[in-house]
Homo-oligomer: A and B are copies of this chain.
Amino acid sequence: MKLTRRVKEILSWYESDNPGTKANLARMLMEGRLGGTGKMIILPVDQGFEHGPARSFAMNPAAYDPHYHYQLAIDAGLNAYAAPLGPMEAAAGTFAGSLPLILKMNSANSLSTQTTGPDQAVTATVADALRLGASAIGFTIYPGSEAMYDQYEEIRELSAEAKACGLATVIWSYPRGGNLTKEGELAMDVIAYAAHMAALLGAHIIKVKLPSDHLEQAEAKKVYQKHGVKIDTLADRVRHVMESSFNGRRIVVFSGGAAKGEDAVFEDARAIRDGGGNGSIIGRNAFQRSREDALALLDRLVRIYQGKE
């Protein structure tokens, strides 16, 4: 498969990684309809852990079946599919070689009382990722939570092992817990900080939520204002996240959160594209629609990242 110039440029940023890890990054960047553009759309299906089955799938019961998501990602021409151990095992044989996989290594759930702050359980191993043919491991950190430092130490171990085996590391960085307000979880300074910490921890691909123009931390606010960091439009804010991710030397994908109207999804994508972001990680907005609607929505998303809309 001849890599495009853009993909080669992106790979050149990962200059301390071995060829195995680069090859797995290349696989994700070259797959699907956005293959070769440096843009990515990833389908993550870990809602089941987070919210339980009915809240995840009752609106589209076909999605209870793990095979459904693989097929959706393939038919929509996406770049990769992310899931926890169980559903990956339930379909990895049938779809072996059909799509790059990201094995989600830790998961939280909403039955947790989280008295010591938000945390997750590590529910898979790097050996699982290898035997299931995954290209990357995925791991969630909660910057702000009391469990944060434990999580950082967990991903340090998992990521070191993954890199030695030629796998890539994707970090979901979700500010949460501690002194953060609810509004603060999406604040510009906090999201930029979260992306930066994922990069500092050695992530190859970073996933954050789209930031608002709120500034949460007083010290940070002063700096943003003094130096006129531009954060007015969503595209500006995406640009600042990319800047915060080693000046664009790390792939960053953005999630849109809860299911919402199509237009909002498209507007987000255009801002991500215009701000220089690498793409979307879009779960509920895909699998909580009917397959037909999801394919239509993903088709338009692809076209937006292709610059056609």
Q: With CB as the reference atom, state the residue of chain B lying closest to A20.
A: B133
Which one of A192-200, A264-272, A274-282, A301-309 is at the interface?
A192-200
A92-B19, A121-B152 known; A247-B26 Cβ under 8 A: no
Q: Which of A5-26 contact B (CB under 8 A)?
A: 7, 11, 13-26
CA distance A93 to B196 in the complex (A): 20
Asked if A54 and B223 make an inter-chain contact with CB atoms under 8 angstroms apart, the answer reads yes
Contact-residue bracket for chain A:
35 or more
Q: Which of B93, B224, B250 contacts A19 (CB 8 A)?
A: B93
Are B179 and A113 closer than 8 Å at their CB atoms?
yes
What 0/1 readout, one digit per residue, does chain A (48-87) give for beta carbons within 8 Å of chain B?
Answer: 1101111100110100111000000010000000001111
| Interchain nearest-CB distance for A77 vs B (Å) | 9
| Partner among B19, B59, B127 whose Cβ is within 8 Å of the Cβ of A160 | B127
> Most B CB atoms within 10 A — which of A89, A180, A224?
A89
B153 touches A49 (CB 8 A): no
CB neighbours of A244 from chain B (8 A):
52-54, 64
Contacts of A130 in B (CB 8 A): 20, 130, 164-166
In the complex, A37 has a CB within 8 A of chain B: no
Query: Which residue from chain B places its CB closest to the CB of A61 in the assembled complex?
Result: B243
Once bound together, how far apart are the Cα atoms of A124 and B195, in whole Å?
18
- Whether B96 pairs with A19 at a CB distance below 8 angstroms is yes
Asked if A190 CB lies within 8 Å of chain B CBs, one says yes
Per the bound structure, the CA–CA distance linking A97 and B130 in Å amounts to: 17
- Asked if A289 lies at the interface with its beta carbon under 8 angstroms from chain B, I say no
CB pair B120 A149 closer than 8 Å: yes
Q: What is the chain B residue whose CB lies nearest that of A11?
A: B96
Q: How far is the CA of A290 from the CA of B74 in the complex (A)?
A: 40
Q: Which residues in B have their C-beta under 8 angstroms from that of A294?
A: none
The CA of A192 and the CA of B199, in the complex, are separated in Å by 35
Are A192 and B243 neighbours in the complex by a CB distance under 8 Å?
no
Determine how close the nearest CB of chain B comes to the CB of A262; give it in whole angstroms. 19
Instruction: For A175, give its contact among B49, B111, B175, B224 (CB under 8 Å).
Output: B111
Are A22 and B96 in contact, CB atoms less than 8 angstroms apart?
Answer: yes
- Please provide the 6 A-B residue pairs with the shortest distance between their CB atoms, ordered closest to farther: A26-B97, A15-B93, A23-B133, A22-B96, A19-B92, A121-B149
